[in-house]
Structure 1
Amino acid sequence: MDSDEMIQETPYIAAMNGKWQHMIDYYQENPDYLYSPVTLSLDTGFHLAVHSNKEQPLKDLLGIMEGREFSLPATRNKFGNTVLHEATTYGNYEAVRLLVECCPDLISITNKYGETPLFTAAAFGEAEIVEFLIRSKPEQRVVYENNLLSIHRQRWKDGLSILGAAIIGQHFETALLLLELDESLHSLKDRKGITALQLLAQMPSAFESGFPMGIFERLIYCCLPVRRKVKLQEETSGQSRKGTVGDVESGLGSSLERKPRGGLLNYFKVPKGIGHN
């Protein structure tokens, strides 16, 4: 192992032990290494910072780079995930907010599977983050005339819709939120011709998972091919983000092992038997 590889172990070990200030101190002394990979997944210090589920580590790293030329959109791991992708999958709301404020272009960047940060947030049931990304400032908006922009609606790899990803993950409150924001999502089909309603119908285990039946009734109704009038409301500056979404999906852990890695393509697949005779 050469000296550079040994040096890069320092921030990784600090992050794994939750010693975020040690990691920050390292990068303050070695700012040129901030874009160097520190994991086998090619995560950088920025990626590790959002795994903390706090805002401060990321804020400190951005402060280190102040006055320097750097590009967050170009900072990706082996899965093509930007720092914003990672922040959404780890449910780090404050980091998401900070990243959108300092680099709104991150919202529209896809990873190697064709997933935007909004897509990954929905797939992991981060309804609060989904709501924030959709209702952020006009120049950062991801909707047009109450429809999500095409880049967010489906991933290009297999055509799975953002609604379908939420349903497969059994994040039904998030699925309802998406439908309330964009009623046309129910009609999207993946490359096998499967709709969100078909996905839901082929998930009997979901109906035994303890979720209130009212959620399923509402979700099934929303997925039916009928016209509904839903108006997207802008987020007001004085509105608190607390209490805006249901608590059905609460209780998820926030450890570094919480989220699977490798892009949603590897673990959000259409259940076997759907679309086959």
Structure 2
Amino acid sequence: MTKDDVALVDGNGSTALHTAAICGNTEAAKLLVEKNPDLANMEDNTKNLPIHYASIIGRRSMVLYLLDLTNKEIQPKLLEDESGAILINGLIASNQFDIVILLIKRYPALACIQSSPALDRIALKRSAFPSGAHFNFWQSLIYSYVPPRLEDSAYQSSEGDIENPVNSAVSFRAYLKQKLHQIFWKLTQMLVPQMKKIQEKKREHHQARQLLELLCKEVVKLDYSKAKEIFHSSVLIAAKVGIPEVIEETFAVFPDVINATNSKGDHIFRIAILNRHVNIFNLIYQLNREVRHLILAIPDLSDKSCLDLVACLKDEQSVNLRAGAAGAALQMQRELQWYKEVEKFSLDYHKDNRDLEREVPRKEFSKTHEKLVKEGEEWMKDTANSCTIVAALIVTIAFAAAITVPGGNNGNNGHPIFSNDKVFLIFSLSDALALYSSTSSLLVFLSILTSRYGEEDFLEVLPNRLIIGLVTLFVSIISMMIAFGATVYLVFGDKKPWIFVPIAVLSCIPATLFVSSQFPLLLDMIKSTYGKGLFYQQNDRILY
């Protein structure tokens, strides 16, 4: 084929290199460029270069290859507003943050495109920051210790030379420590494959934070009015999506974002309340005490206060809240916590009637949360009913086991035959504990079933009862399995110690099943009821 043959276009104006970029076929792209180097500079009917499609779809190797082909003729096209925005935003959308960092360092103007700012795009990437990650306990533990890169796993000392043996020894020890850390993490990745994914996610978060800092440094160099437009837009987006990192970094370089409002007059904290983003609202505690009360007291253009916003639960918000794994009851508890927290910052004027056409916020709260209360009641009753059946069965089994002890009774004095055996003491104590704890659990769940289910009950009363009921039910299951294991050993064990091993292993199965199914709910309830709560100062960084 000739140079002109490979430059043929289809009905959309796309060349074969456009198709190769979309498919990520780097080998085909190399063959095409060898035949016609101008292909990398050819646009289709939508003014997109091959590198634009590769960036949008996330073809990393293709993007790197096409960037290497960037020459003086193509640079102006990449720096044009529309073209540059497509390239940068496509790379951010596909999580290629390291490439964006390199591009912006090479072409700083790409960070300040007014038509489609890169800050707006990264403010939409909630998954690119730690606040948007959803890790369980073990994943969070690994995340806190794993290095973003293996080469970052130990301190790299640049000190030490041949003429200074002390520094040379320090450098060698640091180098040896680094290699040992690398070996340790590589072995851990082989044993725990999921750890590699967590490390990649941490590296992604690290790169996103670096990119965010770089973008803020470049945008703040603009004229005040242009910088204000970009920063205000990005923090409003971040507040709606729920990314506190973007807002914190923006505050650090441009404190005026505290005055950013949308077309309805809502600032970032009002948007956080409306969307129930706790991590955004908690930034209020990093403001000066007088400022935080002032900004939360300012109404919007329709004279609605923050208390009016938190009192209202829209249908789409209700759907999102009920999507939680903990059930509608816990969501109702969190709604009450939201209302009481915002109420602390509200003026008395906002708590009462301001005109005849508007409900008092507390009445509006009851009205809009009526459906959620009903769903919380149904969820509580379903959970209590299920647990009541299990607790009743354990009560029956434990009581029957106490009457018909293993081995039977002595015909002369009526004492149990195995009463002098140490294992029988274990049986007696565990069976008694199973009976008492299951009875307590049964009574607690019955109190849940007979509760009046008022709004305020979902704040502490019902969660407390559910926590006590689940804990005592778990204790009764464990105690019942121990009592059963002791019985098997006394009756069938024939005094052989190895019998304890299969008994212990099999006894762990029902306990593990119960914990795996109910522990997430129990943990959420305990955190929400007895923990530090939803609202607190997340770090010591002062914003304003």
Band of TM-score, shorter chain: 0.5 to 0.7
Please give the residue correspondences for 1:16-95 in structure 2 after superposition, counting only pairs within 5 Å: 16-38=22-44, 42-51=47-56, 53=58, 56-66=61-71, 68=73, 70-71=75-76, 72-74=78-80, 76=82, 81-95=85-99
Structure 2 stretches of 5 or more lacking a match? 1-6, 130-205, 293-357, 359-544
Contact 1:43 1:76 in 2 (8 A): no
From the superposition, tell whether residues 20 and 150 of structure 1 become closer, same or farther in structure 2 (CA, over 3 Å): farther
Tell me what 2:112 maps to. 108
Contact 2:111 2:118 in 1 (8 A): yes
Aligned partner letter, 2:62: P
Aligned partner letter, 2:26: W
Tell me the distance in 2 between the aligned counterparts of 1:75 and 1:175. Answer: 25
Q: Which has the higher contact order (CA 8 A, sep 6+)?
A: 1
Tell me the distance in 2 between the aligned counterparts of 1:175 and 1:137. Answer: 13
Contact 2:273 2:281 in 1 (8 A): no
Contact 1:122 1:174 in 2 (8 A): yes
CA RMSD of aligned residues (A): 3.9
Tell me the distance in 1 between the aligned counterparts of 2:92 and 2:110. Answer: 12
Tell me what 1:200 maps to. 272
Structure 1 stretches of 5 or more lacking a match? 207-212, 228-276
Q: Give the % identical residues.
A: 16
Tell me the distance in 1 between the aligned counterparts of 2:88 and 2:49. Answer: 13
Q: Report whether the alignment pairs 1:162 with 2:234.
A: yes
Tell me what 2:210 maps to. 132
Aligned partner letter, 2:291: V
Deviation of the 1:99 alpha carbon: 1.0
Aligned partner letter, 1:142: V
Query: Per-residue CA shift, 1:51-81, capped at 9, x if unaligned?
Result: 364654333223223354641112735xx83
Tell me what 1:142 maps to. 219
Tell me the distance in 1 between the aligned counterparts of 2:227 and 2:124. Answer: 12
From the superposition, tell whether residues 170 and 148 of structure 1 become closer, same or farther in structure 2 (CA, over 3 Å): farther
Tell me the distance in 1 between the aligned counterparts of 2:223 and 2:31. Answer: 41
From the superposition, tell whether residues 149 and 166 of structure 1 become closer, same or farther in structure 2 (CA, over 3 Å): farther
Deviation of the 1:42 alpha carbon: 4.3
From the superposition, tell whether residues 153 and 36 of structure 1 become closer, same or farther in structure 2 (CA, over 3 Å): farther
Tell me the distance in 2 between the aligned counterparts of 1:137 and 1:220. Answer: 24
Tell me what 2:17 maps to. 11
Tell me what 2:247 maps to. 175
Tell me what 2:261 maps to. 189
Deviates more, 1:53-62 or 1:193-202: 53-62
Deviation of the 1:84 alpha carbon: 1.8
Tell me the distance in 2 between the aligned counterparts of 1:118 and 1:137. Answer: 7
Contact 2:238 2:246 in 1 (8 A): yes
Query: Per-residue CA shift, 1:165-209, capped at 9, x if unaligned?
Result: 0122233443344335544322212343221112112114x5xxx
Contact 1:183 1:222 in 2 (8 A): no
Tell me what 2:154 maps to. none
Contact 1:73 1:109 in 2 (8 A): no
Aligned partner letter, 1:87: L
Tell me the distance in 1 between the aligned counterparts of 2:106 and 2:82. Answer: 17
TM-score w.r.t. structure 1 length? 0.58
Tell me what 2:301 maps to. none
Tell me what 2:471 maps to. none
Aligned to 1:141, the other structure's residue is in SS state helix
Aligned partner letter, 2:29: M
Tell me what 1:247 maps to. none
Tell me the distance in 2 between the aligned counterparts of 1:18 and 1:61. Answer: 11
Which structure would you say has the larger Rg?
A: 2
Tell me the distance in 2 between the aligned counterparts of 1:197 and 1:148. Answer: 26
Q: Which runs of 4+ in 1 moved over 6 A?
A: none
Aligned to 2:282, the other structure's residue is in SS state helix
From the superposition, tell whether residues 169 and 152 of structure 1 become closer, same or farther in structure 2 (CA, over 3 Å): farther
Contact 1:34 1:45 in 2 (8 A): yes
TM-score w.r.t. structure 2 length? 0.32
